[in-house]
Amino acid sequence: MHILKLKIKHHKIMLNYFLFFIIIGFFVGLINSFIIISQNLYLKYGLFSLTFYHLIENINHWILIIILIAIGVFILWLFVCLFLKILKRMIAFSLKNKDTFILTFCLLFFCVVGWILNHYLIFYYRFHPFSILADLGLLIFTILLFLLLKNILNITIF
């Protein structure tokens, strides 16, 4: 019975989440409609059908856009929660096996610094000799960092 209540609670939270974004989309569409209607002077000239057309079109358009953004944020939140759960298990396992923790740290260091180096700092072509030398230097630095951490913590890897 407790699990059923928990599931109903989560469904209500998700329903409130999406209803909140539907209300935001409605008001954004309403404000956008009023701006378009007032700029084109539809009410002054008696164009009521065009007024209602723009009102309904903009409200539906903005509700759809905001709902798609909400779904994207929700999926991103699920991936972050899943990643944190996996990371928590990985750290718990790695603390038992310190060599795995060092390898994981060095791999993450190499990936993050390599991405930053290639994405922001090197403006040459990807296979330019300067880019390849910079990546090779990062690889050597990461290997030296691994050996240094291994020696500091006195851990045998194999």
DSSP 120: I
44 and 82 co-located in one domain: yes
CA distance 70 to 22: 9
List the chain pLDDT tens, one digit each, 158 residues.
444 454 556 677 778 888 899 999 999 999 999 999 999 998 889 889 999 999 999 999 999 999 999 898 888 888 888 887 877 776 666 556 677 777 778 888 888 888 888 777 766 676 777 778 888 888 888 888 888 887 777 655 44
Predicted pLDDT at 150: 78
- Coil, helix or strand at residue 85: helix
CA distance from start to end of the chain: 50
81 and 155 co-located in one domain: no
120 and 76 co-located in one domain: no
CA distance 127 to 129: 6
Predicted pLDDT at 106: 83
12 and 48 co-located in one domain: yes
Tokens of 7: 């599931």
Predicted pLDDT at 9: 67
36 and 113 co-located in one domain: no
3-state secondary structure 1-62: CHHHHHHHHHHHHHHHHHHHHHHHHHHHHHHHHHHHHHHHCCCCCCCHHHHHHHHHHHHHHH
126 and 89 co-located in one domain: no
Query: Could you list the residue range(s) of the whole structural domain that residue 82 is in?
Result: 1-95
Q: What is the count of structural domains for the chain?
A: 2
Predicted pLDDT at 154: 63
